[in-house]
């Protein structure tokens, strides 16, 4: 079975020949992985990764020199002054060169399911606003932010259409909304401010025949049904360390939504506790023996994780994936 077929079956809530595998491993561990395996690509091949998370395309920003001059000088530029600033060009064809090459490699040569990172409505503005300013502006400048979000949704839509043209299997929206035990803003505010532009974007992707997945750190259970209603099929990471119980997921959402996750980088992987790593991997895979899971790290593996521990985790996951965690 090809990796893409395996992922497709899980997204359709079936049970493939084995649990699909992936991991966010490159960002902090490229050097030790390359020293041990030859390259990150060789690591991915060794463990027969079924997906590829690709980044690229034109960066999103305000295309205005005066704005950046003021920001670099330490000035806070509030939303009323941002309404007329142009955004970067999402149709800059040259900026998609790397994405095109990554899709060709992972999908064309390796047969993997390819999902492309897209900046979220909220998270995508934090780099320019600063998250503290952004959170306060949700209450201070709601009308201005609605307009900025509307334009951001249009930018994201054009970006997504270009990615689908290149052959991406899924559009992956990264939009952190959660803290450790609650959302960063109320679900009511989320439904008033974030959901409308995100929903318009999602509708356009679905109308085109595109598939949707969401990354949000933290506790976001109050809006999972809203996300489902928009047409999202997969969520990453379903963060148990923030109170997002996988047992509760199985009871309430399995059969309607797929989780990508299961290996926590906040509490399990990277602390030298191999018995804990083994216990958690076995627990998660047993719990999803009949489908519903794409096994993955909950975020980028941190630099304090040794290559020995990473290899131990994926040796085990690779073996158990074929037996749905039923080994003794």
Statement: residue 324 has pLDDT above 70: no
In angstroms, the CA 282 to CA 69 distance is: 52
pLDDT of residue 277: 98
In angstroms, the CA 175 to CA 196 distance is: 14
pLDDT tens digit sequence for 9-22: 999 999 999 999 99
In sequence order, the β-bridge partners of residue 263 are 297
- Structural contact between residues 298 and 266, judged by C-beta atoms closer than 8 angstroms: yes
Q: Residue 72: in which H helix or E strand, if any?
A: helix 65-72
Statement: residue 328 has pLDDT above 80: no
Statement: residue 327 has pLDDT above 80: no
Report residue 260: phi and psi, to 5°: -110, 115
pLDDT of residue 323: 79
- Structural contact between residues 212 and 171, judged by C-beta atoms closer than 8 angstroms: yes
Domains along the chain with CATH numbers: 3-321 (3.20.20.210)
For residue 270, the number of C-alpha atoms closer than 13 Å in the C-beta half-sphere is 17
pLDDT tens digit sequence for 290-307: 999 999 999 999 999 999
Q: What is the pTM of this model?
A: 0.95
Q: Residue 152: in which H helix or E strand, if any?
A: helix 142-165
pLDDT tens digit sequence for 163-192: 999 999 999 999 999 999 999 999 999 999
pLDDT tens digit sequence for 107-155: 999 999 999 999 899 999 998 999 999 999 999 999 999 999 999 999 9
In angstroms, the CA 296 to CA 285 distance is: 11
First to last CA, the chain: 26
Rounded (10°) angle between helices 131-140 and 142-165: 120
């Amino acid at each position: 079975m090809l990796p893409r077929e395996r992922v497709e079956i899980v997204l359709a809530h079936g049970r493939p020949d084995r649990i699909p595998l992936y991991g966010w491993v490159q960002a902090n561990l490229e050097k030790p992985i390359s020293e041990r395996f030859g390259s990150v690509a060789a690591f991915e091949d060794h463990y027969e990764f079924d997906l590829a998370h690709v980044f690229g395309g034109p960066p999103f920003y305000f295309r205005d020199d005066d704005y950046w001059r003021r920001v670099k000088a330490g000035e806070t530029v509030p939303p009323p002054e941002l309404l007329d600033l142009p955004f970067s060009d999402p149709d800059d064809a040259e900026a998609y060169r790397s994405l095109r090459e990554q899709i060709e490699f992972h999908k064309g040569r390796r047969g993997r399911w390819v999902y492309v990172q897209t900046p979220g409505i909220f998270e995508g503005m934090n780099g320019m606003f600063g998250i503290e300013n952004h959170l306060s502006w949700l209450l201070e400048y709601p009308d201005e932010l609605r307009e900025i979000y509307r334009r951001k949704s249009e930018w994201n839509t054009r970006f997504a259409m270009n990615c689908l043209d290149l052959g991406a299997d899924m559009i992956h929206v990264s939009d952190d909304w959660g803290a450790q035990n609650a959302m960063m803003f109320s679900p009511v505010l989320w439904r008033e401010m974030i959901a409308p532009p995100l929903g318009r974007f999602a509708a356009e992707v679905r109308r085109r025949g595109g598939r949707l997945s969401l990354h949000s750190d933290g506790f976001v259970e109050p809006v999972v049904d809203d996300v489902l209603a928009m047409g999202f099929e997969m969520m990453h990471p379903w963060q148990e360390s923030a109170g997002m119980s996988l047992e509760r997921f199985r009871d309430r959402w399995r059969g309607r939504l797929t989780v990508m996750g299961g290996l926590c980088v906040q509490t399990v992987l990277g602390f030298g506790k191999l018995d804990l790593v083994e216990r958690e991997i076995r627990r998660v895979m047993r719990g999803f023996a009949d489908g519903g899971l794409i096994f993955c790290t909950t975020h980028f593996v941190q630099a304090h994780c040794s290559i020995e521990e990473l290899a131990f985790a994926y040796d085990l996951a690779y073996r158990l994936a074929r037996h749905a965690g039923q080994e003794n």
